[in-house]
Every structure is written in structure tokens, then in C-alpha cells.
Chain A
């Protein structure tokens, strides 16, 4: 009689322990699932960043035509040879040597 009682107490307790463990396992499983989803999201971000970097590297960076340090200068073009409309106000001056 005592034995039956003891067995039923043990199995009740075991049941309690098992259901606690089952709860823990479930919550562990949920945590793992959440971590995995988080990991996938991070991996997607990394892929996006990688492909952005790749396209930026592929594009040649254009060089600015004139460095900002050039301050204005007034000069005479008397010693130069001009072509084009002599009344044009805008001038392009080329300094060059032949060699």
C-alpha cells in the first residue's frame, strides 16, 4: 500500500519535473528559433552591405577638374595666339610646350 503511494508520489513528482523540463525545453527551443531568425537578418544585412561596397568599388571615382586651391589670377594674353571669335568674352588659355 505504502509502495503504491510512494510510486504514485514519485511518478507525480516525476511528472512535475518532466513538465518543468518540457517547459524549459520549449522555451529553449523558442530562444533558439529567435536567435536563428536574428542571425538570418544579420546575414541579409551583411549581404546587402557587401554588394553595396562592390558596386561602389566598381564605379570609377571622377576626378574634380580644378583643385579648390586655385585662386583667381589676372593675366595678359598679349603674348599668346588666339583663335575663335575675338569678341567672345569667355577664354580658355592653354599653356603648353611642344616637347
Chain B
């Protein structure tokens, strides 16, 4: 969400983490998530992430390759990455973390503070794509220390 980006991320008040959560009933979602990771291997995770969200009707295997080509990725490496499914384990790990935290649907947002070694203690949750005002309220509360 561009307002969140501008108000909180660009200003350094908050960082944003995207955790893949391909739902089992979305048959193309897993490979799409892998495409993100494979693009990330070549330094273009966010570009692929943005492109996939802009093309949610074009996520079949041929489409994924077209997206990679459009981003100028090295195709042999990209295809190899997708076919081998090497990032499957990481994606499943992300899903497991989400499930442990009670995530069942997408999109879902957790807000928390970093503890140690890349762990976050989440104390707020927004389930679904609510308007910016809801996010602003939650984030401002976290920043004010009220939680």
C-alpha cells in the first residue's frame, strides 16, 4: 500500500516483511511464490512480486516464464530454479510460521516488534485488505507504545 510505504517504511519507522502463503486451493499459487524466490536469487524479488500481483490472471507456468523474461532474468537459471522446486521448503516454512501464528486466509497482516535473531513478537493482526485508515490506526498505536 503506497501510503504505508510513504508514511512508515520510507521514514524508517517500520519495516515490512512479505511472507509467502500460497493457499492450497489456489493451484498456481505455489509456483508463483517460487517464481518470486527464483527472481530473488537474481536480485529481483520485489520486481517479480509486483509483477505477479499486477497479473493475477496470468500465473500459469508459461506466464511465469514470460514475466521472468520481461524482467530480464537469466532464463536458464530461472527455469532450473522453478523446475527443481528448490525454494519449496522455504515457502512451506513461511506458511508454517503463519499457521502457527493463526493465519488461515490471505491477505493477513501482523504487527509486532523484533525480538532476537529475526523473531517478531506479533501483538496485532488485521485479517483482510482493510482501508488505509485501519492500518494507520494499528501502526500508530504500536508506535505510541500502547500496543
Let me know if B84 is at the binding interface, CB within 8 A: no
User: When A79-B94, A98-B56 are in contact, do A91 and B15 touch as well, CB less than 8 Å?
Assistant: yes
Contact B122 A90 (CB under 8 A): no
* Number of residues from B at the complex interface, CB < 8 A: 69
**CA–CA, A97 and B59, complex, Å:** 11
**CA–CA, A17 and B72, complex, Å:** 113
Contact B29 A97 (CB under 8 A): yes
Let me know if A72 is at the binding interface, CB within 8 A: yes
CB-CB nearest in chain A for B98? A95
**Which A61-86 residues have a C-beta within 8 angstroms of B?**
63, 65-67, 70, 72-86
Contact A75 B29 (CB under 8 A): no
Contact B138 A99 (CB under 8 A): no
* Number of residues from A at the complex interface, CB < 8 A: 33
User: When A65-B135, A79-B90, A84-B12 are in contact, do A91 and B113 touch as well, CB less than 8 Å?
Assistant: yes
Interface string of B77-113 (1 = CB under 8 A from A): 0000000000000110110011011110011111111
Let me know if A92 is at the binding interface, CB within 8 A: yes
Q: Which of A65, A72, A76, A83 contacts B118 (CB 8 A)?
A: A76
A13 shortest CB reach to chain B, Å: 84
User: When A65-B135, A93-B17, A99-B32 are in contact, do A77 and B40 touch as well, CB less than 8 Å?
Assistant: no
Contact B134 A81 (CB under 8 A): no
Q: Which of B15, B97, B102 contacts A86 (CB 8 A)?
A: B15
Let me know if B4 is at the binding interface, CB within 8 A: yes
Q: Which 7 A-B pairs have the closest CB atoms?
A: A84-B15, A73-B101, A99-B26, A79-B94, A98-B32, A95-B21, A85-B12
B interface list, Cβ under 8 A from A = 4, 8-10, 12-23, 26-29, 32-33, 36, 40, 45-46, 49, 52-53, 56, 59, 90-91, 93-94, 97-98, 100-103, 106-115, 118-127, 130, 134-135, 137-139, 142-143
